[in-house]
Chain A
Amino acid sequence: MAAINRDDVAHLARLAHIEMSAEELDRMAGELAVIVDAVKSVSEAAGEDVPATSHPIPLNNVFREDVVGHTFTADQALSGAPDSDENRFKVPAILDEA
């Protein structure tokens, strides 16, 4: 059975504020199910003795000293922004959240 169904996709779309039509949900449910099932095959390859990991290399404690490095200017920071005002990113009002 697919690990992702149409309801899951609709839920994720809502979380991500992405509007999707019924056809898109159907199509995406199918495509995502294939992808998730493919990834799931990894768990078949890994035996009981292989612990789950979040990083491919066995490293710990990769730290940076607390020393100030480079920054952007406000112009540089905003250079890719669709809109800006007063050196700040201008975004549409989001009414249903705070």
Chain B
Amino acid sequence: MSDAILSFEEAMEKYDPVLGFEVHVELNTKTKMFSSAPNVFGDEPNTNVNEVDLGMPGVLPVLNKTAVESSIKIGLALNCKIAEYCRFARKNYFYPDTPKNFQTSQYDEPIAYDGYLDIELSDGTVFRVEIERAHMEEDAGKLTHLGGSAGRIQGADYSLVDYNRAGVPLVEIVTKPIQGAGSRAPELAKAYVAAVREIVKNLGVSDARMERGNVRCDANVSLRPHGRERFGIRSETKNVNSLRAVEHAVRYEIQRHAAVLDSGEPVVQETRHWHEDTRTTTSGRAKSDADDYRYFPEPDLVPVVASREWVEELRATLPEPPAERRKRLQADWGYSDLEFRDVVNAGVMDEIEETIAAGAAASVARKWWMGEIVGRAKNADVDPGQLGVEPATIVELSKLVEDGKINNKMATEVLDGVLAGEGTPAEIVEKRGLAVVSDDGPLLEAIDAALAAQPDVADKIRGGKVQAIGAIVGGVMKATRGQADAGRVRELILEKLGVNA
């Protein structure tokens, strides 16, 4: 049964949302957090494991130095303090995604704490999100539920477990309660997760691919009546794993909470599952004494002491922060403030940068991404970067246009062909017979025919009314089924009529 919801506008009139996020970032180290098994995505199940990852008796974890350094870098990039001394802790729970029956995590001694991130919203408003902590831990194995209703845990007969992901280094970034976002809460949610993703990608410490689970978000939402200080009861929507989903999930939960509160019932404190297909959440597990994780300091690992020298050494290696990078890119590309903000809001800045790096002019890269690809992505309901357009494809398309082999109209048709998996642009031009008629012979014939069909227009042009040429060019384009280069047609017509324009 689906939950009742209020319209977002009505929810906003009555209530004030408070948000909180836990973002898990998988580090892209070569090996796992505590074992030397490879940290690689997509390999055959249970081949990137050894005795430590499988929690065999008597094994000892040894901490990955690079993972610690990456964690410190993340902390610094989030404007956090770095703990001079911190330890790991065992988070005890019994579920087959961890063979040890505990997750090695950090509890009351996170490596980084008390930071903030300034988030720029689509209209340029800057909203400060306070970071409570960023701590080190390990990822769990991957369960696939089988039998019963496919893929859902409810009704499954059994589960299959792949421990390749068990022990992959994670940094969990936890915000303080985010207040005052009002109706911009869904947008802020998306922008915050986008900013974290951008930062870890920019640091080079994570592949940051959300579709692979490199960055995963749990979104906490609660509502309180306007003017009330005390927070409402929150829900935690787990594994919201795309930027769009983060926005939608927060919006949906606000609407659902509002309906619950309106009915006079209390919100149930529980985890919620996000469903991308219906863009709704369903009830997961109620918070209960099952959340008693019996944390205690991990006796198999020694403390991490981050000397100030070490922290400063790492700080010196930090790349240009994304906000500064944006300023630089805008200047390099020569985009106006509005053009650049549109690019950022459309989520294609990285794609445009890659396209320019691949050899396209800044204006060409923007024209393709903003003019063609963003719209197609919207229709397909995916992020533009996920549509499958490679920078090289755009470079090839624009080269074909520049060389006069195809015109702009054909180029968009070729792009559709590329997206349909028909091959490279050159192959599609060939297969679809799209080449611009460049041999002047057939063009001249078509021009003669068009001039003969509209003698009055021809006279006007001869008489100096060059703007009338459109009718002749149109006739030629029609006759060549759009395969002529309109610029060349214009030149030839003027030449033919002996007009200098």
Contact = CB atoms under 8 A, between A and B. Distances in A.
B46 A98 contact: no
B290 interface: yes
Shortest Cβ-Cβ A-B pairs, 7 listed: A69-B36, A54-B297, A63-B65, A66-B66, A88-B160, A89-B161, A64-B62
A92 B159 CA distance: 6
30 contacts: A14-B289, A15-B292, A16-B101, A55-B301, A55-B302, A55-B303, A62-B62, A62-B302, A63-B68, A64-B63, A65-B66, A66-B30, A68-B31, A68-B38, A69-B31, A69-B36, A71-B38, A72-B47, A72-B50, A77-B163, A86-B45, A87-B45, A87-B47, A88-B162, A89-B160, A89-B162, A91-B158, A93-B153, A93-B157, A94-B96
Interface stretch (B12-20, B87-95, B324-332, B365-373): B87-95
Nearest to B291: A15
A21 interface: no
B29 interface: yes
Given A86-B45, A94-B159, A66 B64 contact: yes
Main secondary structure of the interface of A (DSSP, over half): loop
B45 A74 contact: yes
A97 B156 CA distance: 12
B50 A93 contact: no
B106 to A, nearest CB: 12
Interface in B149-208: 153-154, 156-163
A64 B64 contact: yes
Contacts of B36: 64, 67-70
A57 B302 CA distance: 9
B284 interface: yes
Given A11-B289, A85-B160, A90-B160, 4 more contacts: A91-B161, A93-B157, A98-B153, A98-B285
A69 B49 CA distance: 10
Contacts of B95: 94, 97
B32 to A, nearest CB: 10
A57 to B, nearest CB: 8
B408 interface: no
B30 A67 contact: yes
Contacts of A59: 302
Interface in B131-147: 143-145, 147
B160 A78 contact: no
B292 A60 contact: no
Given A63-B68, A67-B31, A93-B145, A73 B94 contact: no
Interface string B57-82: 00000111111100000000000000
B31 to A, nearest CB: 5
Contacts of A14: 289-290
Interface string A1-42: 000000000010011110000000000000000000000000
Nearest to A69: B36
B46 A78 contact: yes
Given A15-B94, A85-B160, A93-B153, A71 B290 contact: no
B358 interface: no
A64 B65 contact: yes
A96 interface: yes
A43 interface: no
Contacts of A63: 62-65, 68
B153 A60 contact: no
- Which of B49, B289, B305 is packed against the most chain A CB atoms within 10 Å? B49
Contacts of A16: 94, 101
B126 interface: no
B295 to A, nearest CB: 12
B302 A61 contact: yes
